[in-house]
Amino acid sequence: MASPKLFLVTLFLSLQTLFIASQTLLPSSNPSSTICKTTPDPKFCKSVFPQTSQGDVRDYGRFSLRKSLTQSRKFTRTIDKHLKRNNGLLSQSAVRALQDCRDLASLTTDYLITSFETVNVTTSSKTLSFSKADDIQTLLSAALTNEQTCLDGVNTAASSSWTIRNGVALPLINDTKLFSVSLALFTKGWVPKKKKQHYSWAHSRTKPVRHFRNGALPLKMTERTRAVYESLSRRKLADENDGNTVLVSDIVTVNQNGTGNFTTITEAVTAAPNKTDGSAGYFVIYVTSGVYEENVVIAKNKRYLMMIGDGINQTIITGNRSVVDGWTTFNSATFAVTSPNFVAVNITFRNTAGPEKHQAVALRSSADLSIFYSCSFEAYQDTLYTHSLRQFYRECDIYGTVDFIFGNAAVVLQNCNLYPRQPLQNQFNAITAQGRTDPNQNTGTSIHNCTIRPAGDLVSSNYTVKTYLGRPWKEYSRTVFMQSYMDGFVEPVGWREWNGDFALSTLYYGEYNNTGSGSNTTNRVVWPGYHVINSTDASNFTVSNFLFGDEWMVQSGVPYLAGLLS
């Protein structure tokens, strides 16, 4: 029998060999120059891999993802170093930009770990399901969005800080390129080729599915919490074994007069359980009517949280942070949520900074599989920040001026009311500013069966400003308006440039079967990226196809239409 010392040495060498092997590409017939042709930046892609490397697309994808994860962790340490060494040398706006980057880097690392774990156990002969491939493509798309958000913030701060410009912004540019390579190779190697056809046209036209999750009522649901939930949500919970049950684990009440469990929303969020898997149902926070002057942040560990108010303009959450006052756009939000499977019902989210303070967000969602039902979002520039991941909005009211629905999530707004309002003098209204930066991101804004009418102050001004459907914030901006009503105040050209011819050939803007005098496409822009689309193309942007919503939305009890209107 070998000695313990010899055994440990042998084990160490074996593990070292395995580690080295995991860092190299498997032998195959494809050099990196061939694989990299499928990426947005082939020259940079080739620099990622050893010059003599050989492998198939999955070998390169694993290698790139592993390197992306290493860089993400390295970048986190870089941000920590700059924040630690601040000593009052950085401006407040620079510090806030770095803090945003720190939070975003933490999320990015999580996304990359999950992605790498998935691809690392997927052999060359094994394929991912449509929904699993969408999960990972969504995470990698969000990781790239996080990098871009950080870069946008530090570039703004870099004008007053040489340290940030050289120590943070420049390395981040290369990290962004690396993440783009990882996303491209995953899309090429793991995403099923017929993903968009997974749901047939016939399926996408079906009536809405039953909107309750099958399962028994949790034991924690007392008669009191049952009564409260039914009263708040205006829908009856079924008895056990009925098969139409929304699972709710517990309900707490926020009331400013002290008669509830908490007097502030932040206290209730803090008390919510951490890292739940949803098997016990939603933790419900009932926020009674009132004006709550709070900047609420719901962190990533507060999963399966449902917040229900007394109604639009009854339960109001309000703040006034803005870019002019030193906040970044990202952290100007009155309400910011990152936790997966978040649901909000019957609440108004408001930012009162006003048009003169420019970017001032009412709500920012970076929450995957998040739902907002019968809510209102009120501000001026940058009202609703659909930042990243997958989101759904139903029967909501959204008020704003410049780019008032913006971000880079995969998001569907359904049966919502969009209200452009009066901006500052010499400004114009742009309903959307979608921020897709990479052709492989599965993101975009889908506006389905919504109504676009002017807000009261815009009517009173006799329409002295122009209103457009959107403009391209980033190079691959993607937005569609489908089966929606557009009032006549929408400009006949429909869309507006961001800066000269930027993105006009790479964006994707579509309109399908809209109504109202503002929907006439005769005089629309003639950009290469603009399309009047048909029903087949439009079906790609429905709840079922764009969000895979049938697999996660039913548990919330929120109604939705899976496909196009019949």
Q: How far is it, in rounded angstroms, from Cα 173 to Cα 119? A: 25
Q: In the annotation, is 403 catalytic?
A: yes
Q: How far is it, in rounded angstroms, from Cα 200 to Cα 205? A: 9
With a CB cutoff of 8 Å and minimum separation 6, the contacts of 448 are 412, 413, 414, 415, 482, 483, 484, 541, 542, 543, 561, 564
With a CB cutoff of 8 Å and minimum separation 6, the contacts of 166 are none
CA distances 135 to 138, 187, 369, 547, Å, are: 5, 12, 10, 10
Helix axis angle, 92-120 to 170-189, nearest 10°:
30
Query: Which residue is associated with the tokens 């929450």?
Result: 367
Give bridge partners of residue 305 from the DSSP assignment: 283
Query: Which residue is associated with the tokens 């530090």?
Result: 154
> Which listed residue (368, 403, 438, 550) is catalytic?
403
Q: Is 314 exposed, middle or buried (0-12, 13-18, 19+ CB in 10 A)?
A: middle
53 CA to centre of own chain: 35
With a CB cutoff of 8 Å and minimum separation 6, the contacts of 504 are 472, 497, 527, 528, 529
Which is it for the CA torsion 107, 111, 112, 114, positive or negative?
A: positive
- Can you give 303-352 as a three-state secondary structure string? CCEEEEECCCCCEEEEECCCCCCCCCCHHHCCEEECCCCCEEECCEEEEC
DSSP code of residue 27: P
The torsion defined by the Cα of 42, 45, 51 and 55, in degrees rounded to 10, comes to -100
Tell me the two tokens of residue 333.
């939000």
Tell me which residues are annotated as active site: 403
